[in-house]
Chain A
Amino acid sequence: MNWGSASEFFAMGGHAFYVWGSYGVTTVFMVAEVVLVVRRKRTITQRLGRMLRMRIGGKHEAQT
């Protein structure tokens, strides 16, 4: 387990900017994609739920 110190680790042998620039952007993109797709799923389910309730509501009024 090669671990000198935190500062040494983050320095990445002088390539800190390039390594953390790569890992940082990759993390941001992958996390953002997950958040966006999960939110999209929730919004669709809610929207369809509302439309469903409206349609059923409509039927009841028509019958009464």
Chain B
Amino acid sequence: MGLNLNWFKYSSPATFYPLAGKMIPYFAGLAVVLTVIGLYLGFFVAPTDFKQGEGYRIIFIHVPAAWMSMLIYVVMAVYAGVGLVFNTRLSSLMAYALAPTGAMFTFLALWTGALWGKPMWGTWWVWDARLTSELILLFLYIGFMSLRAAIDDPRRAARASGLLAIVGVINVPIIYKSVEWWNTLHQGATVTISSGTSMESTMLTAMAVMVFAFWMYTIAVVLVRVRCEMLEAEQHTDWVADAVREGK
């Protein structure tokens, strides 16, 4: 028996729907627990910053939100791309489910960044390379969602929005590298895979816990939303009738 893992089996909505339903509570629970731990570490254990005082504590949501905004876009673009190429319905539905959460984190990254920038840089906003490319990311998310909503035929909507998502993905490395290429105002990467970090350990731990908390949050919310998308997209099928009858 070769490895003929029929990965299409798990990508069929009827199998995925109950599976996702069972996993959501675990991700949601983990998100809450990790957030509580992260905030405790961030506010009560992490020391005061010698230069920024207490204001730096915004980092514990600014950085996770910013990382999530980029990560979710890449994952969304991959799903949208797969949906475009393989015409698999569930992939496109997954991309649609990711978009709102990605857009929210992009907005939160911009918002918390502005509120952090005002006391430290003296300005809410500046047309800096990093800030501007993150703003473009927000427009890409909104463009993706509205393009899909604007087209009635699901197949054409999947193709059009998939194309936009793929074209937009080039923006993510630009955001990531913008601080080095243009070096306008936003500081360079403090945490890099290659050279580790110069951050104080408890600050780093608190931030890392918050990043995982945001991961768990995103998975839980996106799974609920993709199940909504699936119910709507497949409402005339028997498996939806069974799921609804069982009140799943």
Contacts and interface: CB of A to CB of B under 8 A. Distances in A.
A23 B227 CA distance: 29
B247 A45 contact: yes
Contacts of B235: 48, 51
Interface in B196-248: 217, 221, 224-225, 227-228, 231-232, 235, 240-241, 244-245, 247-248
Contact of B100 (A17, A21, A22, A33): A33
Interface residues of A, number: 30
A48 B244 contact: yes
Contacts of B221: 33-34, 37
Interface string A27-44: 001100110011011001
Given A18-B58, A19-B55, A37 B244 contact: no
A59 interface: no
A17 B55 CA distance: 9
Contacts of A3: 44
A18 to B, nearest CB: 4
Contacts, number: 91
Could you say which interface size class chain B belongs to? 35 or more
The A interface is mostly helix, strand or loop, or mixed, namely helix
Given A29-B107, A30-B217, A33-B104, A14 B227 contact: no
A59 B46 CA distance: 66
B247 A21 contact: no
Contacts of B225: 37, 40
B45 interface: yes
B232 A22 contact: no
B64 to A, nearest CB: 10
Contact of A18 (B116, B224, B248): B116
Nearest to B235: A48
Given A1-B44, A14-B53, A48-B235, A26 B224 contact: no
Given A2-B44, A19-B58, 9 more contacts: A18-B55, A18-B115, A30-B217, A41-B227, A44-B228, A44-B231, A48-B231, A49-B245, A52-B241
| Shortest 5 CB-CB contacts between residues of A and residues of B | A15-B55, A13-B54, A13-B53, A22-B112, A12-B54
